């Protein structure tokens, strides 16, 4: 059952304004629309909660995270049914995403119980050191305070209400205020109910979690500018993310904005690999490019390949495989329109040729394939801009030096991929120092869609892929975004944080 209200510090709060979701099929539901006043109440509730939750034990927070996972699983069928209606995503994908969401909650619970993330350090006192004694120094990572999280359009579970940013902040000891995404308010409502139940079961302060739904642009602006908010987690468009990032920087007290803003995720297809298995690589690329209607931030939209017969065979194989892909529902009408606008922008660029053109309208997406050259790529930055959907561009280069030049020209990415065989090692070795500076995750002979939630994962990269190249929004390292190091000098053990005693 949908509540249709905001969850604010343990209370379901309505309002005078409302909005409706836009399901692919089924009944429309109505939801209360957020206001700056509701944001203020949520942020103040989060600050109140921090004075207990921020100083709670790792064990109690682990229990809370596991309880959230249990409550989400208990509502699994309801979440999947609502998600399918609102987003058009298939049940299998939604069930898998729910598994990822609860899995990362449990992983983070296990991780904080071990305590390694605290980076504990100590320099013992040296009272007899000359010419000056050294004091006793201890250091530990401490939670920063309330965190604002913006839900993502393309992941109604894993990057939204109880997704990675929320899980990381709660694991760190930070209360959370979520701005729910209007693409799936029903799913967000049900997940908020699960978190509310976990709060009551675990007896934590109700202000530890709030969710504000809908509302005009000033709702998001008031959230990132609220004096009680100490950091922001965001997954979304470059334009929207940059606007919020600038607001965070313009505050009287600037705060960190951890924005994941998208990527074209270039692949470099090296000669020996293409000569020996080009058709298989083309088929794999098409599967990755069109997965989920191409609505992944790790969608590999660019393939760079040496011009010649092998390149033509690769393009022909990709075209044939793409031609078998039917129309797919996109997450929202707005995303579908943006996809069509991106298609029109790409095909209007000088030096771009259509390889496969289709017809898509309303909320449907069909694949497109274009071909360009290294020379055209280097002459026009627009070719490197993300098109959110199943659109691919093959860039043919004349020689190794032009491939290196293309690699140098690419801006920050979430991922970059090398498809290579043993005979390609020399060229791959030339590319590695370049792509290492460009992306947070480097792949060999694979496809970047599908981000493993693990200790070693990095989901981030240099701008514009993300706004903080030193952070990741996936994996246990993501918890560190919401901590800061504190050093204690000659502090009596009795008043130190428990993790240092």
Catalytic residue positions, numbered: 260, 297
Of 184, 185, 180, 202, the closest CA to residue 69 belongs to 202
Separation between Cα atoms, residue 91 and residue 258, nearest integer Å: 30
Q: For the beta carbon of residue 138, count every other beta carbon within 10 angstroms.
A: 21
Separation between Cα atoms, residue 345 and residue 385, nearest integer Å: 10
Residue pair 149/482 in contact by the 8 Å Cβ criterion:
no
On the question of a cis peptide bond just before residue 171, with omega within 30 degrees of 0, the verdict is no
Q: Is 127 exposed, middle or buried (0-12, 13-18, 19+ CB in 10 A)?
A: exposed
- Residue matched to tokens 């990741």: 472
Q: Which residues pair with residue 233 across a beta bridge?
A: 149, 258
Residue pair 413/304 in contact by the 8 Å Cβ criterion:
no
- Taking every pair of Cα atoms in the chain, the longest distance, rounded to a whole number of angstroms, is 80
Separation between Cα atoms, residue 288 and residue 270, nearest integer Å: 19
On the question of a cis peptide bond just before residue 131, with omega within 30 degrees of 0, the verdict is yes
- Residue matched to tokens 């690589």: 281
* Order of strands across the sheet that contains 483-489: 121-123, 137-143, 483-489
Helices (H), 251-270: none
DSSP for 41-66 reads HHHHHHHHHHHHHTTS-HHHHHHHHH
Separation between Cα atoms, residue 478 and residue 472, nearest integer Å: 5
Q: Token digits for 55?
A: 């100083």
Separation between Cα atoms, residue 212 and residue 93, nearest integer Å: 26
* 3-class DSSP assignment, residue 488: strand
Of 411, 354, 349, the closest CA to residue 375 belongs to 349
Separation between Cα atoms, residue 128 and residue 110, nearest integer Å: 42
């Amino acid at each position: 059952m949908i509540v249709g209200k905001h969850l604010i510090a343990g209370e379901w709060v309505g309002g005078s304004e409302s909005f409706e979701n836009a399901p692919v099929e089924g009944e429309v539901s109505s939801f209360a629309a957020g206001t700056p006043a509701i944001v203020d109440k949520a942020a103040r509730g989060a600050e109140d909660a921090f004075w207990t939750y921020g100083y709670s034990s790792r064990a109690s927070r682990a229990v809370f995270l596991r309880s959230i996972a249990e409550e989400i699983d208990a509502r699994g069928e309801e979440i999947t049914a609502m998600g399918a209606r609102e987003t058009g995503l298939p049940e299998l994908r939604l069930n898998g995403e729910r598994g990822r969401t609860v899995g990362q909650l449990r992983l983070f619970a296990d991780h904080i119980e071990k305590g390694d993330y605290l980076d504990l350090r100590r320099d013992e006192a040296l009272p007899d050191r000359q010419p000056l004694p050294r004091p006793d120094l201890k250091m530990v990572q401490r939670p920063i305070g309330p965190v604002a999280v913006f839900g993502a359009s393309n992941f109604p579970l894993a990057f939204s209400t109880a997704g990675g940013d929320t899980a990381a902040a709660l694991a760190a000891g930070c209360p959370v205020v979520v701005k729910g995404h209007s693409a799936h308010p029903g799913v967000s409502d049900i997940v908020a109910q699960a978190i509310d139940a976990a709060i009551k079961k675990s007896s934590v302060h109700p202000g530890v979690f709030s969710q504000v739904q809908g509302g005009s642009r000033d709702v998001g602006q008031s959230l990132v500018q609220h004096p009680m908010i100490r950091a922001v987690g965001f997954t979304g468009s470059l334009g929207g993310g940059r606007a919020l990032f600038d607001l965070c920087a313009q505050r009287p007290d600037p705060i960190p904005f951890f924005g994941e803003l998208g990527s074209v995720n270039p692949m470099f297809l090296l000669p020996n690999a293409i000569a020996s298995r080009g058709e298989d690589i083309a088929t794999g690329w098409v599967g990755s490019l069109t997965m989920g209607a191409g609505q992944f931030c790790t969608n590999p939209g660019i393939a760079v390949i040496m011009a010649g017969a092998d390149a033509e065979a690769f393009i022909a194989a990709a075209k044939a495989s793409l031609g078998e892909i039917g129309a797919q529902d996109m997450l929202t009408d707005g995303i579908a329109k943006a996809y069509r606008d991106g298609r029109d922008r790409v095909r209007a660029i000088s030096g771009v040729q259509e390889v496969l053109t289709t017809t898509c309208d309303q909320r449907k997406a069909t694949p497109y394939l274009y071909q360009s050259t290294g020379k055209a790529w280097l002459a026009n930055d627009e070719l490197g801009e993300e098109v959110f959907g199943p659109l691919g561009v093959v860039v043919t280069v004349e020689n190794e030096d032009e491939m290196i030049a293309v690699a140098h020209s690419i801006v920050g990415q979430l991922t970059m991929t090398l498809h290579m065989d043993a005979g390609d090692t020399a060229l791959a070795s030339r590319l590695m120092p370049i792509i290492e500076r460009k992306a947070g995750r480097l792949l060999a002979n694979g496809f970047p869609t599908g981000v493993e939630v693990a200790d070693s994962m990095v989901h981030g990269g240099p701008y514009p892929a993300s706004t903080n190249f030193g952070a990741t929004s996936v994996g246990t390292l993501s918890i560190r975004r919401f901590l800061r190091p504190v050093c204690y000098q000659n502090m009596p053990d009795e008043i130190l944080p428990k993790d240092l005693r």
